[in-house]
């Protein structure tokens, strides 16, 4: 089992979109039993997968001692892909984790899920707190989507500092140039400056995910965007295999 966090301290960089699409690739292309774990109160992952939240469930309860995450997990329309949805309760999660005082709570939950899943993908909120620290401790790989702008480059530096600061044996970081439009000078320059970083193009097919409420591969499998996402997923599997 390997866990992958899609994380940045910046919002709107494409984390949720990428997490959903990568989870779809893991399940549909690599045939891995996959769990997409939404840690953002906005519950964007569930929305993009067309999964409507069930009433009277609180996603924060997973973190309380002795509680079983399986109770919250929902199946999706895609074989091999399950979702652990977020809800409003997640807002207080950071304080809850602080109170619990267990630095590896999330890592322990992930360990417990290893018997049921081959891949766990976290859709992270744009925060720098105890929750993100726990994600860094639990993840085998951290994907940082970064549109070509000085602000997201800054956000990337913050993530790198935070991950490196988490101690020896920290997970590797894979930056991904997201929302790239090669007609724009700044975007071309970002591409040229980082020729080895995977690229996800700015594409209406990706935007459409939120309208279709489906991953790109499920409704536009031959689009350049779907191909780029598949390529990224292949690169991720390769990186995990090197571990
Ligand atoms: N490659 C892309 N091309 C076009 N639009 C994109 C792309 N990636 C993300 N978006 C759009 O950008 C917005 C923010 O994406 P989202 O995944 O919610 O970011 P985050 O989770 O980092 O806040 C959404 O409207 C999404 O549809
Ligand atoms: Mg998001």
Q: What is the DSSP letter of 105?
A: H
14 Cβ inside 6 Å of ligand 1: yes
Q: How far apart are CA 214 and CA 24, in angstroms?
A: 9
How far CA 66 is from CA of 79, 108, 133, in Å, comes to 29, 11, 21
12 Cβ inside 6 Å of ligand 1: yes
In CATH terms, the fold of domain 2-242 is Rossmann fold (3.40.50)
Q: Which residues surround ligand 2, an ion (CB under 5 A)?
A: 15-16, 40, 44
The tens digit of pLDDT for each residue in 91-146 reads 888 888 888 888 899 999 999 999 999 999 999 999 999 999 999 999 999 999 99
Parallel/antiparallel/unpaired status of strands 34-38 and 173-180: unpaired
The tens digit of pLDDT for each residue in 139-168 reads 999 999 999 998 888 999 999 999 999 988
């Amino acid at each position: 089992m390997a866990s992958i966090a899609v994380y940045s301290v910046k919002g709107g960089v494409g984390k949720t979109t990428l997490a959903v699409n990568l989870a779809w690739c893991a399940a549909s292309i690599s045939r891995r039993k996959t769990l997409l774990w939404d840690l953002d109160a906005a519950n964007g992952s569930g929305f993009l997968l067309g999964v409507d939240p069930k009433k009277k469930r609180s996603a924060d309860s997973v973190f309380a001692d002795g509680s079983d995450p399986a109770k919250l997990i929902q199946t999706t329309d895609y074989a091999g892909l399950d979702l652990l949805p977020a809800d409003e309760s997640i807002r207080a999660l950071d304080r809850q984790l602080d109170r619990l005082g267990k630095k590896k709570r999330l890592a322990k939950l992930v360990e417990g899920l290893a018997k049921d899943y081959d891949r766990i993908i976290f859709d992270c909120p744009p925060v720098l707190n105890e929750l993100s620290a726990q994600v860094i401790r639990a993840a085998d790989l951290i994907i940082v989507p970064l549109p070509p702008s000085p602000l997201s480059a800054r956000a990337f530096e913050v993530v790198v500092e935070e991950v490196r600061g988490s101690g020896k044996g920290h997970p590797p970081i894979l930056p991904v140039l997201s929302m790239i439009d090669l007609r724009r000078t700044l975007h071309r320059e970002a591409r040229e400056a980082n020729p080895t970083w995977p690229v996800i193009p700015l594409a209406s097919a990706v935007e459409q995910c939120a309208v279709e409420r489906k991953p790109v591969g499920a409704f536009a499998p031959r689009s350049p965007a779907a191909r780029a996402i598949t390529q990224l997923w292949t690169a991720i599997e390769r990186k995990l295999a090197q571990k």
